[in-house]
Copies of this chain bind each other. A is one copy, B any other.
Amino acid sequence: MDGFKHVTGGVTSPPGFKASGVKAHIKYDRKDLAVIVSEVPAAAAAVFTTNRIKAAPVLVSSRHLADGTARAIVVNSGCANACTGQKGMEDALEMARITAGCLKCKPDDIFIASTGVIGQQLPMERLISGIKDAVKNLSRRGGHDAAEAIMTTDKVPKETAVSFELDGKTVTIGGMAKGSGMIHPNMATMLAFLMSDVNIDSQLLRKALKYAADRSFNCVTVDGDTSTNDSLVILANGLAGNRRIESEDEGFQVFRDALTEVCSTLARMIARDGEGATKLVEIRVRNAPSFADARSVAMAVANSSLVKTAIFGEDANWGRIICAVGYSGVEVDPDKIDIFIGDEKVAENGAATGFSEENAKKVLEKDEITILIDLHLGDAEALAWTCDFSYDYVKINADYRT
């Protein structure tokens, strides 16, 4: 086995999946409704938002996935169907029922998701006609349309795929995601949909998904706000014909690592397309006492508005970085901390190094910036992805709803 390789495409890259994206006129005058279908019943697993206020589609989908199987996914953008009371729950169930009717399967086999404004009811008439339209348009080449239809403030659609060999069979994993604001970890942030033709037990699918989420979507933050609608789901239809993965053997690990790669790729795309972002920022923490500590430090720095505005201003203000390390809650030793911006060591043993501002500026002018924090307290490491904080973040969010 040689690991995995990236291939072009998205959710319809694996055999047996069709998708479409259509204009349902829910809020935008552009594609805003997507359907993805597996030709055969598929093993399914998902992780959802940890926000205590969960949108109706999250509540419905978590019930529908209890049996570990699904056939199709329907997603709308423009309205989150969150904080919509009893009517919202009825609408979410109806959304699944209508889709199931069109596809001749059970409502329980439908995974639903919504994204957009909180507190507004779904325009059911337009939604239903959109679903019918989308089902009519399902195609093996519809993945890109689907990726476009789930965007809200996203500037670019986000899709990726990898393939790898298992038992002499080619297995593919394709995925798409959306997310630009209201993004914070502690869950599969935002919406992400992954399809694979791998043959796998649904419990192991869930285990692999959780593993991948913790190392990808849960490492992204744009603004520290955990949404009511975050959902990450994978369908695996088994058409690759590999020997069914039923234990945590080598095959499982190959799949899990490939899945983690798909999730990481999408997660980085989300950070890069953060609302108003001009730069992708990777925060690496090493030599921490534990993974949890490393993660807490990485996320504190990634969430700091002051760090993010300094990066927008291309200012090597490492004092803000070390300040965030200090309030992360982790018992760091201030006198042991080293900080690098790109290759430039800006702080050593918790104090300035007399680094070259010019070199640091060159690093900060780039599109992708890595900040490395060495705690010198153990051997655990973690990373977080974020973006810089620009005028446009404020602009986008000052008039998003209106």
Chain A residues in contact with chain B, CB under 8 A?
A: 50-54, 80, 82-85, 88, 117-121, 181-182, 184, 186, 223-228, 303-306, 309-310, 312-313, 315, 317-320, 322-327, 330-332, 334-335, 347, 349-352, 389-391, 393-395, 397-402
A88–B351 CB distance below 8 A: yes
Q: How far apart are the CA atoms of A100 and B51 in the complex, in Å?
A: 54
In the complex, chain B residues whose CB is within 8 Å of the CB of A347:
83, 119
Q: How many angstroms from the CA of A50 to the CA of B334 in the assembled complex?
A: 13
In the assembled complex, the CB of A153 is this many whole angstroms from the nearest CB of chain B, namely: 11
Report the separation of the CA atoms of residues A325 and B225 in the bound assembly, to the nearest whole angstrom: 10
Min CB–CB distance A108 → chain B (angstroms)? 24
A52 to B332, CA, bound (A): 7
Q: Which residue of B lies closest to A227 (CB)?
A: B323
Chain B residues closer than 8 Å to A121, beta-carbon distance = 352
Given known pairs A52-B334, A118-B323, the reply for A394 and B390 (CB within 8 Å) is yes
**B317 engages A401 (CB within 8 Å):** yes
CB–CB A351/B85 < 8 A: yes
Contacts of A324 in B (CB 8 A): 225
Residues of chain B within 8 A of A312, CB atoms compared: 394, 398
* Residues of B with C-beta under 8 A to A325: 53
Q: Flag if A327 contacts B225 (CB, 8 Å).
A: yes
A326 adjacent to B52 (CB under 8 Å): yes
A305 with B397: CB separation less than 8 A: yes
A182-B306, A223-B306, A226-B323 given. 14 additional CB < 8 A pairs?
A51-B323, A51-B326, A80-B319, A83-B322, A85-B351, A119-B351, A121-B352, A226-B326, A228-B322, A228-B323, A309-B394, A309-B397, A317-B401, A319-B401
Which of B118, B303, B335, B393 has a CB less than 8 Å from the CB of A224? B303
- Considering only CB atoms, which chain B residue lies closest to A319 in the complex? B118
4 tightest A-B CB contacts, nearest first: A118-B319, A313-B398, A53-B326, A309-B397
Whole-angstrom CA separation of A401 from B306 in the bound complex: 11
With beta carbons under 8 angstroms apart, the residue of B120, B226, B401 that contacts A327 is B226
Q: List 29 A-B contacts (CB under 8 A).
A: A53-B322, A53-B334, A54-B334, A82-B323, A83-B322, A83-B350, A83-B352, A85-B349, A118-B318, A119-B319, A119-B322, A120-B319, A121-B352, A224-B303, A225-B306, A225-B323, A225-B324, A226-B323, A226-B326, A310-B398, A310-B400, A312-B394, A313-B397, A313-B400, A317-B400, A317-B401, A319-B401, A391-B394, A393-B394
